[in-house]
Amino acid sequence: MSEAAAARIELDHLVVACRTLDDGRAWCEAILGCTPAAGGRHALMGTHNRLVAVSSPRFPRAYIELIAIDPDAPSPPRARWFDLDRPELQARIAAGPKLVHWVARTGDIVAATAVLRDAGYLPAAENATGVLVTAPTLRRAKARPKPPRVTAELSTPSELLIASALRALRAGERASSHKPREVPRTTANETVDLLHQYIEERASLTIGYADTNGGVSNRLIDPLSISLGTLVARDHATGEITHFRIPRITGVSPAN
């Protein structure tokens, strides 16, 4: 990471995963000798937290976040952050809260994300409301010009155009005949491993894919390659080559 990018990044908080927030409060009082302040609820993730300030001259806004699954919240359509859904982590924190992550703050999320991608990482950037964003989608799309009005006689379509139209129709038929089913959620590492496996096997698969509003839809695809955090695949619904952001893929499963 460059010095300029590093200068824009600082420690924001430490993440301590808890089985329940009552466990987190008791741990904090026993280990740190203080009672954590009330935090809030994260509707998109189905979690809630409590907070403890641990600021210093070097990190003036740092704090500890005690986080747990909110039992009163509905299950989110994607995996909860910090691997809170994983049985392995739940088994670890059953014996007591554990430090599991640290979170950085930056004033330029686009530049920081680009630096991380250049370094080979697959960051998932979110805005203040928790919606997944990426550098290309932060810019508003330009309005498309209106097509020119046809005044002359239409020419006979070429064989290539007819063949392309037939491929699109057949792809749509395959997609419509595919029975949608719930796609199990996978972690980021599991998702990448499965995608590489299906690319090598040249097999069709179903993915859960989150839109910018957090809604998840199932997509039947033929995976082709992975590059810079993006899955390149043929979408059966359109027959077109489509780019899917890997951080938005909530789960992967075989097509049949």
**Cβ burial, residue 220 (10 Å; 0-12/13-18/19+):** buried
The residue segments making up the domain with residue 17 are 3-107
In a domain, residue 129? The reply is: no
Same domain, 7 and 99: yes
Same domain, 103 and 196: no
Q: Residues with Cβ < 8 Å from 44, sequence gap 6 or more?
A: 76, 130, 214
What's the CATH code of the domain at 82? 3.10.180.10
Same domain, 192 and 99: no
Q: Is pLDDT above 90 for 21?
A: yes
In a domain, residue 94? The reply is: yes
Q: Is pLDDT above 80 for 99?
A: yes
CA 113 – CA 111 distance, rounded (Å): 5
And the tokens for 30?
């026993």
In a domain, residue 126? The reply is: no
In a domain, residue 73? The reply is: yes
In a domain, residue 151? The reply is: no
**Cβ burial, residue 7 (10 Å; 0-12/13-18/19+):** exposed
Last residue of a domain, one of 87, 107, 127: 107
Percent of the chain with pLDDT over 90: 20
65 or 109: whose pLDDT is higher? 65
CA 126 – CA 41 distance, rounded (Å): 17
pLDDT tens-place string over residues 148-160: 665 555 566 677 7
**Which helix H or strand E contains 201, and what residues bound it?**
helix 188-201
Count CB neighbours of 244 within 10 A.
19
And the tokens for 212?
């910018």
CA 153 – CA 142 distance, rounded (Å): 31
- Name the one residue in this structure whose structure tokens are 């991380």: 116
> Total domain count for the chain?
2
The answer to whether 210 and 132 are in contact (CB under 8 A) is: yes
What's the CATH code of the domain at 239? 2.30.30.100
Q: Is pLDDT above 70 for 73?
A: yes
Q: Is the pTM of this model over 0.75?
A: no
Same domain, 7 and 102: yes
Q: Is pLDDT above 70 for 195?
A: yes
Last residue of a domain, one of 107, 129, 162: 107
Last residue of a domain, one of 71, 89, 107: 107
